[in-house]
């Protein structure tokens, strides 16, 4: 049934009346001395807060600059002879803090044997495609279990041992992983650079099976993430009783990481999953 024009007219009149009342109230309130005093106080508080924030940012910048300058002296030769295979649990690209972690290992005298990135297509792999990989490489196809997890487990051991390169080569061909480094050197320790962007599915399906497989093969595993990671995976990693560092994007976190790679154990960083900021710092020359 058509709506009467007078209904529209009444609605428009009501809207304009409401606007007019709001304008009149606003004009009346502006002249209220108590409201003006409150507004003035709020502006002054806002200005004070802005100055405090600026000072804190300056202080944080100075602390980071200091940390970057002293870090090379604190880590010098602490990882001499230690070989580390780095596994990135997703495609970090050219993220500065990840590059800084790898650089720090080298500055401490350690050797990064390889850097393996697990690319998004790994999780998207269909079962029939995973079975084809198993067939190609002569692996027994399990009746039960997630093939992503089983494939990740096999890959982890080969990353550390540098054995049977056919699996790594096949996964690179399919765009499931990206690998940099020396394919012939065995690693003493595997460093898992983790955390999550949105959910912990890949952490549970890929990261934890990799950690379990490495532990079963006698390899030491350490996990780290950034202090500002969107979703922390520390709780998940700590279920496997491995050392963790949750602020590897900071100089303090990179120092903690070097000490852990050198043998320290525990959970370090700034999040509520950490026991303390740093492991005890050994004397120089050790």
Tens of pLDDT, residue by residue over 1-60, are 444 444 455 565 566 666 656 665 565 555 567 767 777 777 777 777 777 776 666 656
Give dist(CA 147, CA 153) in Å, integer: 10
- Which pTM value belongs to this model? 0.77
Average pLDDT over residues 144-151: 89
Instruction: Give percent helix, percent strand, percent coil of the chain, each to the nearest 5.
Output: 55, 15, 35
- Using alpha carbons, select from 239, 234, 243, 245 the residue that is nearest to residue 195: 234
Give dist(CA 204, CA 241) in Å, integer: 15
Domain extent, residue 150, equals 77-268
Is 30 strand, coil or helix? helix
One domain for residues 120 and 217:
yes
Tokens standing for residue 232: 């922390």
- Neighbouring C-beta atoms of residue 269, cutoff 10 Å: 27
Average pLDDT over residues 271-286: 83
Examine residue 283 and state whether it is found in any structural domain, yes or no. no
- Neighbouring C-beta atoms of residue 171, cutoff 10 Å: 26
One domain for residues 82 and 16:
no
One domain for residues 44 and 95:
no
Examine residue 48 and state whether it is found in any structural domain, yes or no. yes
pLDDT of residue 51: 75
Token pair 């990693």 is found at 237
One domain for residues 88 and 218:
yes
Examine residue 118 and state whether it is found in any structural domain, yes or no. yes
Average pLDDT over residues 153-160: 90
Is 163 strand, coil or helix? coil
Give dist(CA 265, CA 259) in Å, integer: 9
Tokens standing for residue 135: 């067939």
One domain for residues 146 and 116:
yes
pLDDT of residue 40: 75
Examine residue 276 and state whether it is found in any structural domain, yes or no. no
For the packed helices 166-173 and 147-161, what is the interaxial angle rounded to 10 degrees? Answer: 120
Give dist(CA 147, CA 168) in Å, integer: 16
Total number of domains in the chain: 2
pLDDT of residue 13: 58
pLDDT of 189 above 90: yes
């Amino acid at each position: 049934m058509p709506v009467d024009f007078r209904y529209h007219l009444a609605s428009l009149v009501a809207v304009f009346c409401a606007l007019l009342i709001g304008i009149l109230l606003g004009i009346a309130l502006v002249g209220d001395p108590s409201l003006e005093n409150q507004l003035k106080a709020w502006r002054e508080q806002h200005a004070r807060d802005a100055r405090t924030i600026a000072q804190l940012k300056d202080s944080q910048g100075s602390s980071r600059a200091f940390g970057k300058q002293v870090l090379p002296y604190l880590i010098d030769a602490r990882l001499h002879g230690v070989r580390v295979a780095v596994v990135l649990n997703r495609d970090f690209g050219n993220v500065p803090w990840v590059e800084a972690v790898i650089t720090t290992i080298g500055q401490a005298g350690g050797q990064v044997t390889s850097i393996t990135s697990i690319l998004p297509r790994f999780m998207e792999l269909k079962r029939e495609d995973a079975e084809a990989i198993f067939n190609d490489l002569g692996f027994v196809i399990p009746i039960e279990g997630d093939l992503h997890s089983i494939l990740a487990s096999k890959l982890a051991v080969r990353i550390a041992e540098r054995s049977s390169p056919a699996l790594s080569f096949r996964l690179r061909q399919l765009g499931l992983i990206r690998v940099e480094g020396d394919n012939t050197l065995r690693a003493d320790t595997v460093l898992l650079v983790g955390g999550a962007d949105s959910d912990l599915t890949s952490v549970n399906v890929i990261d934890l099976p990799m950690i379990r497989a490495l532990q079963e093969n006698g390899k030491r595993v350490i996990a780290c993430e950034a202090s500002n990671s969107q979703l922390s995976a520390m709780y998940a990693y700590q279920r496997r009783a491995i050392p963790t560092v949750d602020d590897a994007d900071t100089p303090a976190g990179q120092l903690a990481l070097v000490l852990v790679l050198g043998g320290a154990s525990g959970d370090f960083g700034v999040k509520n999953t950490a026991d303390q900021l740093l492991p005890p710092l050994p004397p120089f020359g050790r």
